[in-house]
Amino acid sequence: MNITRKWAATKQRAIEILIRLKRLYPEADCTLNYQTPVQLLVATILSAQCTDERVNQVTPELFRRFPDAQAIAHAEIEELEQLIRSTGFYRNKAKNIQGACRAIVEKHNHQVPKRMELLVELPGVARKTANVVLANAYGINQGVTVDTHVKRLSNRLGLTENTDPVKIERDLIRLLPQEDWENWSIRLIYHGRAVCTAKKPACDRCELADLCPAADLSLLSNVLG
Ligand code: SF4
């Protein structure tokens, strides 16, 4: 197959996967709890190397004590550290959320910026966090969020051969409609948790198996009899 035809086939497969993911996971909401863009930014920074469930356990008290960028900017760092301790890497995260909030207050008039290039200048914010915030707080699909699940599944599904998240994002951007960039990531994360786990993908009950080059065919043939 020449490169153009191969690319067209991959794109068609990506669209079919997207359609099935929408059917399988009709709700594609961000699973972090927040009330404002600043709170979403903070929760997303906390979610690095941590589950959303754990983050949702610490943010009610964190946001009760420090509800906005101004309050976090002026908090005692030791108190911030204790409030977020159970999310791991708490010293670094406390420093980053306070640094980000100080920049938001001092440079951005208390508002989380709506532009990728300004967001990634904030401490603790890389493209992944910026994509989550832009899409969920502002409805701006500027990129595809690539976390560990999206990275693993995009590779298994043969939608990219890259391992670097920035390059994977670039490949997915070319394959998917822009309005679906963020909900793609959320749904792929659901699928990665429920079916295509890192340790043991359950190909025998995966609804994407016929579209997936990494499907374990021995499992499938067992199921098919
Ligand atoms: S068929 Fe297997 S490897 Fe492919 S997406 Fe499904 S669970 Fe993952």
pLDDT tens-digit map of 137-176:
999 999 999 999 999 999 999 999 999 999 999 999 999 9
From 52, 147, 204, 216, the catalytic residue = 147
Does the pLDDT value for residue 70 go beyond 90? yes
Whole-angstrom distance, CA of residue 79 vs CA of residue 111: 24
Element (H, E) at 105: helix 90-107
Q: Identify the DSSP state of 93.
A: H
**What is the number of H-type helices and E-type strands within the chain?**
12, 0
Q: Which CATH architecture has domain 37-138?
A: Orthogonal Bundle (1.10)
Dihedral-angle region of residue 139 (phi above 0 means left; psi in -120 to 50 means alpha; beta otherwise): left
Does the pLDDT value for residue 195 go beyond 50? yes
CA of 207 to the centre of ligand 1 (A): 8
pLDDT tens-digit series, residues 165-192: 999 999 999 999 999 999 999 999 999 9
pLDDT tens-digit series, residues 54-63: 999 999 999 9
Q: For tokens 């920035």, name the residue.
A: 166
The band of 219, judged by pLDDT with boundaries at 50, 70 and 90, is low
**Is 68 labeled as catalytic in the residue annotation?**
no
What's the pTM? Answer: 0.87
Q: Would you state the pLDDT for residue 211? A: 97
Q: Give strand pairing partners of 201.
A: 196
Element (H, E) at 104: helix 90-107
Pocket test for ligand 1, best of 20, 157, 187, 193 (most atoms within 8 A of CB): 157
Q: Does domain 3-28+144-211 have CATH number 3.40.50.300?
A: no
Whole-angstrom distance, CA of residue 128 vs CA of residue 73: 23
Same fold, 3-28+144-211 and 37-138: no
* Domain coordinates in residue numbering, the chain: 3-28+144-211, 37-138
The predicted model gives 72-95 an average pLDDT of 98
Picking from 127, 117, 129, 126, the residue whose alpha carbon sits closest to that of residue 38 is 129
